[in-house]
Amino acid sequence: SSVSSGINAEYGGDLVLCYFVVPQRANMHTPSTTESCVTFFFIVGVTFGGGFATTALTTAEDGDEWYDGLEKPSWTPPNTVFGPVWAALYFLMAVAAFMVWRRGGFLKQALPLSVYAVQLVANFSWVFIYLEAKDLLAAFIEICCLWVLILVTAVLFGRVRRAAAFLLVPYLIWVFFAGSLNYELWRLNKDNNGTDTNGTAAR
């Protein structure tokens, strides 16, 4: 007993510290299959629904017609490319967010998932800026902010699960391309309609 008392006296503090510092699997959030399914479809629904709803609302009137009348760079993709690309990116984004949620739930992963939500709002608002306001310069500034938010989201996701961060890489690349196209649309059309110019850059 004297030996065990000595061990406890010498290492007891370290053992207590390790208990609180090292994650305990018994205290980890382990979602049920039902909870996982509901959360996955919720994340997918918010990501897809918000993106396509904003696009549908802003192109319902004169958005497409106005965009078709803009002068464009030679490397502008056809309009039919944007929809499938965004659908794939939204799915990858939702899967990445779900992977992070699986590591503790919304409360434990509040920071990365909150930043994810903020960049989603920035993503959705982008289409309103250039299709409703038809302001390419403001849209370009906004998409630069969006790209930074996506990068921050990827970094935070990577601290939880590296695979989740990798799933956001295509999103980063596409938004960089979209921003470049957005800038070129502004540069080519800024003298035509003053500040009332913009484009669906990557929608």
pLDDT in tens, 73-107: 999 999 899 889 999 999 999 999 999 999 999 99
Nearest Cα residue to 59 out of 91, 40, 83, 88: 83
DSSP 126-191: HHHHHHTS--HHHHHHHHHHHHHHHHHHHHHHHHH-HHHHHHTHHHHHHHHHHHHHHHHHHHHHTT
Where do we find the tokens 């490319």?
81
pLDDT at residue 62, as a whole number: 61
pLDDT at residue 133, as a whole number: 80
pLDDT at residue 61, as a whole number: 58
